[in-house]
Structure 1
Amino acid sequence: MNHLKSLIRDIFGRRMMIFDLAKSDFRKRFVGSYFGIVWMFVQPLVTVAIYAFIFGPYGFKSAPPVPDTSYVIWLIPGLVPWFFFSEAMNMITGILHEYNYLVKKVVFPVELLPIIKLASCFLVHLCFIAIMLVAFLISGKVPEVSWIQIFYYSFAASVLALGLGYLTSAVNVFFKDMQQIVGIVLQFGIWMCPIMYDETLFTSRAPWIGTALKLNPFYYIVAGYRDSMLTGDPFWMRPTLGVYYWVFTLAVFFVGLGFFKRLRPHFSDVL
């Protein structure tokens, strides 16, 4: 708990520095690139197009569980939070190597580096939220109050990514293969959550698979985005899942932060 108090104190005390470094990190990604920020959207949009073709009307013709909703409109609220989470995990894992010159400065609060990278990823996430909203409006969806809930679920995904990121970034200092391991796990992870497919595809044959899918904490985020954007269900409609998610996520966060703090004195020696 003392680690958390210290972290919160640093966040509020240096909030302007965090924001400035996050903006700088965001801009740095596209320095020297001819198309600049356009590349940020190419890979996600191509991914949506591929899955829409495979599972849409020209492929397997997957019928989304929400009436009067196209597969693409059902798919987007599942992919948008996953893009945010996977990018944050990849970026945070390598943050200490990327900013090793700051790690070696004794006066700099190293615990803020994962938060700076997370904030940078969140700026990208806001752009995708805007694209998602535009896509919904073009499809004829009427704005609902429940759409505001996506910021709650974005915060929930941020806490999970930050907790895991503290753990993986600390390990990555001493074991550089961690970055590749995280990338591979994320490739499998997208299929361990019903993002591209409706879970009833499997649960109708083997009900236990539904329980197994819900053990993946990110199930709560994907379901929450779709509840907010498609069905209008409030976040308290999944109380058991919500309690499980926050117990799991807070446990991961405290373990990750504690592990990071314990290894912090050795970072500068290795880097």
Structure 2
Amino acid sequence: MKEVKTLFKEQFENLGIIFRISRYSDKSQYQSHYLGLVWQYLYPLIQIAIYWLVFGIGLKSGNNMNGISYLPWMVIGYTVWFYMNRVTLDGSKSITSRVGMVSKMKFPMSVLPTIKLVSNLSSFWTMLVFSIFVGLLNGIYPSLMWIQWIYYFVAMLIFLLALGIFNSAVTILIRDWHIMLQSLMRVLFYMSGVLFNFETTAFPAPFVRLLQLNPFYYIISGFRESFLNETWFWDRPVLTLEFWAFTLFFLLVGSHLHYKFRSRFMDLI
């Protein structure tokens, strides 16, 4: 736990650096493109349109969403997934891709995954507003339950921080890890309930229960339950405990690996 406390202490002490580098990363990533930062918002919207056409209209997956139209149901899920997927993959290579910066500037390496977490927030906010707009067009209006999204947002940030610290350390120790992670995230995309609802009688109960262990599913379904006015998070205590158990595991193991090998990261890279 001492390493976890050190981890959070370094994040709070370097918030200024985190936000400054995040803004710089956003500008530098798209500076050679004609549309610039517009691509940060345009790409996910194009993906949403494709999935809606394929799954919502083509395969008609949206006919049974507990009375909710498929488009707002899918858009909320994809918004959360898109952010978590990008932060997870970017965070895993955050240290290896910033070797030059680390060697020239004086700040702890533990903030590098957090920089990726913050730099992707701008597109997340845009997509979240778009999700709410789509929901309003489909008759989904604000209620007291909407305040619950704050809990899931904080839970998502803590989970992604833990996952980023873990993956960034393992990527340095095992160079194939990032490639394996990319493949794993492709599988998790379909196993996290982003495009279809697997909590139906069409799937065996043991299989559904296994998929519910996925922490990405917990966050995605949590945002949906908040904005679609379905369930409070304390109404599913088992899933909540399982999610925080996963988060604590990645925090403990990730921070241990990070601080144990941090002095050797430059040599290993």
Q: Does the alignment reach a TM-score above 0.5?
A: yes
TM-score of the pair, normalised by structure 2: 0.92
Q: AA paired with 2:78? A: L
Q: Which moved more, 1:137-146 or 1:92-101?
A: 137-146
Which residue does the alignment assign to 1:246? 244
1:38 CA drift (Å)? 2.0
Runs of 4+ in 1 over 3 A off after TM superposition: none
Letter in 2 for 1:263: F
- Structure 1 residues not aligned, in runs of 5+: none
Distance 2:198 2:154 in 1: 25
Amino acid at match of 1:74: W
C-alpha offsets along residues 67-98 of structure 1, whole Å, 9 cap, x if unaligned? Answer: 1x211111112111111110001111111122
Give the deviation of 1:232 after TM superposition.
4.3
Residue 107 of structure 2 aligns to a residue whose secondary structure is coil
Match of 1:229, as an amino acid? F
**Does the residue aligned with 2:190 lie in a helix, a strand or coil?**
coil
Alignment of 1:200-215 (within 5 A): 200-201=199-200, 203-215=201-213
- What is the CA deviation profile of residues 118-141 of structure 1, one whole-angstrom value per residue up to 9, with x for unaligned ones? 111223212211211222223332
> Structure 1 CA distance, aligned partners of 2:75 and 2:203?
26
1:268 maps to which of 251, 266, 269? 266
What corresponds to 1:180 in structure 2? Answer: 179
Decide which moves more: 56-65 or 36-45: 56-65
CA RMSD of aligned residues (A): 2.0
**Aligned-pair CA distance for 1:105:** 5.0
Separation of aligned partners in 2, 1:27 and 1:106:
20
Q: Indicate the residue corresponding to 2:87 in structure 1.
A: 88
Matched-pair identity in %: 29
Deviations 1:176-229 (A, max 9, x none): 33222211111111111222111145x445221111111212221121011101
Do the aligned partners of 2:165 and 2:258 also contact (CA within 8 Å) in 1? Answer: yes
Find the aligned partners of 1:267 and 1:249 in 2 and give their Cα distance. 24
Paired with 2:61 and 2:33, the residues of 1 have a C-alpha distance of 38
Aligned equivalents of 2:260, 2:75: Cα separation in 1: 39
In structure 2, what is the Cα distance between the partners aligned to 1:8 and 1:207? Answer: 39
C-alpha distance in 1 between matches for 2:245 and 2:173: 29
Contact preservation (8 Å) 1:92, 1:117: yes
Partner-residue secondary structure (3-state), 1:110: coil
Partner of 1:191: helix, strand, or coil?
helix
**Where in structure 2 are there 5+ consecutive unaligned residues?**
none
Q: After the TM superposition, which of the residue ranges 240-249 and 34-43 deviates more from structure 2?
A: 34-43
Q: Which residue of 2 aligns with 1:158?
A: 157
Code of the residue aligned with 1:141 in structure 2: it is I
d(CA) in 2 for partners of 1:224, 1:122: 18
| 1:256 matched to 2:225 | no
* Corresponding letter in the other structure for 2:125: L
AA at the equivalent of 1:117:
K
**Secondary structure of the residue that 1:190 maps to in structure 2?**
helix
